[in-house]
Amino acid sequence: MKFPVPHDVKANMIPGTEGWERMYPYQYQFVTDDPQRNQYEKDTFWFYDGLHYPEPLYPFDTIWDEAWYLALSQFNNRIFMVPPVRGVDHRIINGYVYISPVPVKDPEEIGKRVPNFMERAGFYYKNWDALEAKWKVKMEATIRELEALQIPRLADMEDMSVVTDALGESHGYHLLKNYDDLINLGIKCWQYHFEFLNLGYAAYVFFLDFAQKLFPSIPAQRVTQMISGIDVLMYQPDEELKKLARRAIELGVDEVVTFSPEWTDVEAALKKLPKGVEWLTSLNLAREPWFNISTGTGWFHHDRSWNDQMNVPLSGIATYIGKLKQGASIDRPTEKVRAERDRITAEYRDLIEKDEDRKQFDELLGCAKTVFPYVENHLFYVEHWFHSVFWNKMREVAAILKEHGIIEEVEDVWLLRRDEIKSALWDIVTAWATGVTPRGTQIWPKEIVWRKGVMQKFKEWNAPPAIGTAPEVIQEPFTIVLWGVTNKSLADWASVQEVGDPDSITELKGFAGSPGIVEGKARVCRTVSEVGQLQEGEILVAPTTSPSWAPAFAKIGACITDVGGVMSHAAIVCREYGMPAVVGTGHATKIIRTGMHIRVDGSTGAVTIAR
């Protein structure tokens, strides 16, 4: 399989973006001036991480990429000593992140790492539940610390308490320090993110692998079904909406709750009624922490939480109130889901012919079941709860940058790298202390206008799915399970590059996320704010979905996503609702348009477009 040479791709510069490299850390560049590094980059296989980054990265948002670049790699390579694999290397072209697992090539070194890995990873597997409980305590403390963090404004005259408390420090210093603390908390949170995740995925991927050896045709979705939890945190926000819908009917305020799609109107109306106030109390209890759920994946600054966009949960509550008043059940069929999971597991198990294999199956299933709750639950803590609070703290920092003329709008802050923000804060604080104008006021606004133009051009660019030289073997568990890098996906990626005209495509392939066949009208929703347009029975086509999209699933007939595997949110929810899903199609939102008649086969992973 041939893929383009990274440096050729990069050299084919989009006109008007020259100099874009300064928007990202220097180590992310494919280079031509360092022969050794250049050769390594050419010999390596890089694939576009479309799973996490459907769009080019804003300079600030690179923080999470750097965070996991470090965290994943260190746990693989320096902490658990995974024998055949080091970390995952990163590059950026035109704002798009390319990654590559780095193997340990020397067999002797691999051998030396084995006992270390057995001891270290073994410790975690053996003590999983106890360590996971510790993790939860650490993580919650980190979030509390983040919530308590103050981003101080700079007063013309410091408060008298600075004097009477003999504080000996200014708010200028606090601003610098607390910005550092904010960033450090973010990095720490991502350290924890990966403490268990690789081991969790390893247990999952090799259970999957064993099941596929036993049953070569077993769909991955069935393996996932055997281990997926029922009581995972990610379902809780949606459960809260259902509770609030029931509560509204109970209190007789359901008509007030549904009278307008605007939260501010609804809230004002509710406040005038005693029962309305009672309902608002229930709502406020649910908001912390559950409404910290992001409306996106949480990876990007533009993924706002329900707390930021109350119209989103309000529309969900209204949908559930509507269903309840029609007499429809809105309960998740948990008993049914559990019974089906147990039936499927038992039937597959009974088909295993050899006792040794059945024993191995039991061992791996048990291990996967132990680790899997973490694999699902960490998302709520990190990507949703922590990130939602973090983005808003950063907006407080941005407000100060704006106040001091560094940026024109709060949302401009994302166009700066986090180290550039640190420099700008030094500029502000020293100028504030001294009583002069920060130098950055004449630098950053112009630069931001230019960077906005660059970002726009990046968005229009089509990132090739893979570049460099394809390897013979991939050992990094994430690469296999999360990105689904297999022989087949490489071939699919290579073939997509060859299709010139997107209007000529009549079939898309993705992962079979949830079985069944549905034909119908497509509705492309790029963000959760567009799900209000969905009509009953339409087929949702989305870049990816997240738990905040949950109410949309009560309406649709099937779902297609650009990114995600059989464990993605869309696949899991569709399996529960018993509707087909094809996930990880790569390009569905670019090729399918609203109103097109399409056929979704969730058992084979095929989407057919009637042209």
Partner 1 sequence: MGSLAEAIGGLAAGASRAGPPIICWFEECLKDSVPLVGGKCASLGELIHAGVRVSPGFALTTEGFRSFMAQAGLDREVAAMLAGFDVTDLDALEAASARIRAAIEAQPFPIELEDLVAESYRKLAVRCCTPAVPVAVRSSATAEDLPGASFAGQQDTFLWIRGIDEVLAHVRRCISSLYTGRAIAYRANKGFAESEVAISVGVQKMANSFTAGVMFTIHPANGDRSVIVIDSNFGFGESVVSGEVTPDHFVVNKITLDIIDRTISCKEVCYTVDTKTQTSHAVEVPFERQKVQSLIDDEITELAWMGKQIEKHYGRPMDIEWAVDKDLPAGGNIFILQARPETVWSGRSQPALTASAGSAMDYILSSLLQGKKVG
**What are the angstrom distances between the C-alpha of 320 and each of 10, 141, 239, 246, 496?**
49, 34, 11, 8, 40
Q: Which stretch binds partner 1 (CB under 8 A): 157-165, 207-215, 391-399, 495-503?
A: 207-215
Q: Of the candidates 29, 38, 170, 475, which one interacts with partner 1 according to CB under 8 A? A: 475
Indicate the residue among 158 and 209 with the shorter CB distance to partner 1: 209
- Which of the residues 114 through 133 are near partner 1 (CB under 8 A)? 114, 117-118, 121-122, 125
The site that binds partner 1 (CB under 8 A) totals a number of residues, namely 61
Beta strands 606-609 and 597-601 are antiparallel
Longest dimension (CA), the chain: 81
Q: Does residue 577 belong to the site contacting partner 1 (CB under 8 A)?
A: no
The 10 Å Cβ neighbour count of residue 73 is 21
Q: Does residue 578 belong to the site contacting partner 1 (CB under 8 A)?
A: no
Indicate the residue among 199 and 286 with the shorter CB distance to partner 1: 199
Q: Of the candidates 486, 495, 535, 594, which one interacts with partner 1 according to CB under 8 A? A: 486
Residue 591 CB, nearest approach to partner 1 (Å): 23
Which tokens is 280 given? Answer: 């608002």
Q: Does residue 595 belong to the site contacting partner 1 (CB under 8 A)?
A: no
Residue 190 CB, nearest approach to partner 1 (Å): 23
User: In terms of residues, how long is the chain?
Assistant: 611
Which tokens is 605 given? Answer: 């992973």
Q: Of the candidates 175, 182, 214, 552, which one interacts with partner 1 according to CB under 8 A? A: 214
C-beta separation of 482 from 565 below 8 A: yes
Contacts of 603 (CB under 8 A, 6+ apart): 219, 512, 515, 516, 517, 580
Contacts of 472 (CB under 8 A, 6+ apart): none
The 10 Å Cβ neighbour count of residue 302 is 15
Q: Of the candidates 516, 519, 590, 599, which one interacts with partner 1 according to CB under 8 A? A: 516
Q: Which stretch binds partner 1 (CB under 8 A): 13-21, 65-73, 346-354, 431-439?
A: 346-354
Q: Does residue 413 belong to the site contacting partner 1 (CB under 8 A)?
A: no
Which candidate, 555, 551, 548, 494, places its Cα nearest to that of 520?
555
Q: Does residue 310 belong to the site contacting partner 1 (CB under 8 A)?
A: no
DSSP state of 17: -
Q: Does residue 584 belong to the site contacting partner 1 (CB under 8 A)?
A: no
Q: Which stretch binds partner 1 (CB under 8 A): 78-86, 152-160, 244-252, 422-430?
A: 78-86
Got the DSSP string for 224-285?
Answer: HHHH--SS-GGGHHHHHHHHHHHHHHHHT-HHHHTS-S-HHHHHHHHHTSHHHHHHHHHHHH
Q: Does residue 354 belong to the site contacting partner 1 (CB under 8 A)?
A: yes
Indicate the residue among 40 and 215 with the shorter CB distance to partner 1: 215
What are the φ/ψ torsions at residue 588 (nearest 5 degrees)?
Answer: -55, -45
Q: Does residue 473 belong to the site contacting partner 1 (CB under 8 A)?
A: yes
Q: Does residue 153 belong to the site contacting partner 1 (CB under 8 A)?
A: no
Q: Does residue 85 belong to the site contacting partner 1 (CB under 8 A)?
A: yes
- Which of the residues 167 through 206 are near partner 1 (CB under 8 A)? 202-203, 206
Q: Does residue 359 belong to the site contacting partner 1 (CB under 8 A)?
A: yes
Residue 222 CB, nearest approach to partner 1 (Å): 7
Indicate the residue among 167 and 352 with the shorter CB distance to partner 1: 352
CA distance 478 to 490: 16
Indicate the residue among 118 and 277 with the shorter CB distance to partner 1: 118
Residue whose token pair is 């808003």: 392
Q: Does residue 607 belong to the site contacting partner 1 (CB under 8 A)?
A: no
Q: Does residue 471 belong to the site contacting partner 1 (CB under 8 A)?
A: yes
Residue whose token pair is 């007499």: 327
**What are the angstrom distances between the C-alpha of 539 and each of 313, 545, 592?**
21, 13, 11
Q: Of the candidates 57, 364, 448, 539, which one interacts with partner 1 according to CB under 8 A? A: 364
CA distance 311 to 289: 17
The residue type found at 379 is L
Q: Does residue 367 belong to the site contacting partner 1 (CB under 8 A)?
A: yes
Indicate the residue among 19 and 115 with the shorter CB distance to partner 1: 115
The 10 Å Cβ neighbour count of residue 442 is 10
Q: Of the candidates 363, 408, 419, 507, which one interacts with partner 1 according to CB under 8 A? A: 363
Cα 377 to chain centroid distance, Å, stands at 13
Which candidate, 492, 487, 494, places its Cα nearest to that of 464?
494
Residues that bind partner 1 (CB under 8 A): 1, 82-85, 110, 114, 117-118, 121-122, 125, 202-203, 206-207, 209-210, 213-219, 222, 343-344, 347-348, 351, 353-357, 359-360, 363-364, 366-368, 470-475, 477, 480, 485-487, 490, 512, 515-517, 603-604
